[in-house]
Structures are given as structure tokens and as C-alpha cells.
Amino acid sequence: MRTTDQPTIERRDGGYTLTEMLVVIVIIALIAAVLTPSLLGQLARARAKSATLQLDTTAASLTMFKDDIGRFPTPDEGLKVLVEDPGAEGWLGPYLNSTKALNDPWNRPIVYAAAADGTVNVTSLGADGKTGGKGADQDIAVTVR
């Protein structure tokens, strides 16, 4: 048996000290701070790309509607006639799966406008939902002839 006047130090195996935990938390916070702006930028670009694809699909649906009916929808009919039968002779729709397809990736209605030259435009007003803008707020438009 051993007797000494020195205090015994108990050693803990299997745990982390508070300092080690704080260092890990700081490292994770720094990584998150560096990656967050990049990820948000990628999300904005993905939504813009999705809006472009959605407008292209809507434009193709408008072309099919015109092929069947002989005209584009009137401004009063709008894009709703791509999903619901307007009672027009020759309608073979629906041309889009649901009314959800009539909203852009920011969940705002796609803007439909008929021009005097017989073309129509479908537009997403971007992230801000207002005309004009730059970057993620930029409008995206497709003209259908």
C-alpha cells in the first residue's frame, strides 16, 4: 500500500474539456460564416434558372393552346385557360398540370400580356416582385409568337 502526502489526480477518459468544445464551436461558426453567402447566391441563381424553365414551359403551353384554339388567350382569360377549360371550341387541355404552375419560384403569379403585334409575353418579376431590378430581382420574360 502506498501512502504519500501528494494529492491524487483523477484522470477522466472519454470527455472533452470546455476549451476543446469552444474551439470546435468557433471553427464551425467560421465555416458557416464563410459558406452562407455562397449558398445564398447559389439559391438565388437556382430560382432564376427555375423561373426561366417555368416560363419556357408556359410559353410552350401557350403555343399548344394557340394551335388548338387558333389564338392566344385574351388578357381577360389570362393563363388560367391553360389549366381550366374556358369552353372554347377545340380546347384539348389542360396544357399545364395545375394552377401552381401559374406562379413563379417566388410564389408570385406569372404576368401575362398580349402585344398589338399578335405576340404574348410571360414574365416573372424576380425575387422582389417589382418591375425592373438587378441580380435576383431582375425580371425574366419570354415572348411567344
Question: What is the Cα gyration radius of the chain?
Answer: 29
Give the start-to-end residue ranges of the domains of the chain.
46-144
Low-confidence winner among 27-41, 44-58, 62-76, 129-143 (lowest mean pLDDT): 27-41
Residue 86, preceding peptide bond in cis (omega within 30° of 0): no
Residue bearing cell 425592373: 132
Give start and end residues of each alpha helix (H) in the chain: 18-69
What pLDDT is attached to residue 43?
A: 84
pLDDT of 142 over the 60 cut: yes
Q: Report the predicted TM-score, pTM, of the whole model to 2 decimal places.
A: 0.75
CB–CB of 96/102 below 8 Å? yes
Query: Within a 10 A sphere around the Cβ of 12, how many other Cβ atoms?
Result: 7
Class of domain 46-144: alpha beta
Q: Residue 65 is which amino acid? A: F
121: DSSP letter: E
